[in-house]
Amino acid sequence: MLIRVEACGVCRGDAKIIEGAASEYPRIPGHEVVGVIDAVGGNVTKWEIGQRVGIGWHGGHNHTTALSIDGGYAEYMAAYEDGLVIIPNEISPEEAAPLLCAGETVFSALRNSKARMGDLIAVSGVGGLGHLAIQYASKAGFRVAAISRGSEKEKLAVQLGAHYYIDSEKEEIGEALQRLEGAKVIIATAPSKKAISPLINGLGKDGEIIIAAVSDEPIEWSAMDFLKGPYSVKGTFTDINEMADAINFSVLTGVRPIIELFPLEKAQQAYEKMMAAKTHFRAVIQISQ
């Protein structure tokens, strides 16, 4: 199908393409794409012209969007029918785009975690992923503790649904979470070993850390750290089978990303600002309406 792109999120995963990981070049980045179907191939059976759809990392036909096929930093892109999900009219293209990767990643992390309603969820990092994780956890019925450096994000974290705020500059994270009886699950969204390593001390019995942050740094844990719980650690990544559910849950409960908009001609500026961690939560390229 041919998609007329309306909006495309700017994600840290785009760095993989820009730094040389794509199958061939030139290659168009962008894997948080929302647009309208403009034309369909002769064998397409699932979709019709005029439908609003989204496409994430999973490009269909075993392709990865922006790695083995072109992505959404463009006015149009080609897509396979098995890589798409429907985007309801109740959410704007600009707000839907970041949910196709950042939002779905933390949504599925929570939904597939050990936690049950009423348990304590801690979200480490109140940034592009963390501000969505706080909303999802709160809307799903968890007690939520937000963790960040400094007090500047405390008010926003509470507005997003956090019940507690832990300033890691003023108190030790593990001790603060243990005063709350320990977290059943900690979602690590801050891409730094200094932010991730202390989290294990804040888990409750049989708790787990789910790493959603993109970082190549080794994490400093010993075998004894795991034996004390016992604790478990796992990673999470976007899953096309969870994508539609993440979008629909967001529409149902009012979860929305905080976004900063850029026109297509400023895509390079949007990317550089995102990589410098200066974006107001999620950068989105607004292409057409």
> pLDDT tens digits, residue range 243-276?
999 999 999 999 999 999 999 999 999 999 999 9
pTM for the full model?
0.95
- Measured CA to CA in angstroms, residue 31 lies from 22, 64, 182 at distances of 13, 9, 36
Q: Which CATH architecture has domain 102-235?
A: 3-Layer(aba) Sandwich (3.40)
CATH 3.90.180.10 in the chain is located at: 2-101+240-286
Describe the chain by its helix, strand, coil percentages, rounded to 5. Answer: 30, 25, 40
pLDDT digits (tens, 9 = 90+) for 44-101: 999 999 999 999 999 999 999 999 999 999 999 999 999 999 999 999 999 999 999 9
Residue 283, beta-bridge partner list: 10, 260
Region(s) of the chain under CATH 3.40.50.720? 102-235
Judge: domain 2-101+240-286, CATH 3.90.180.10: yes
Whether 48 contacts 38, CB under 8 Å = no
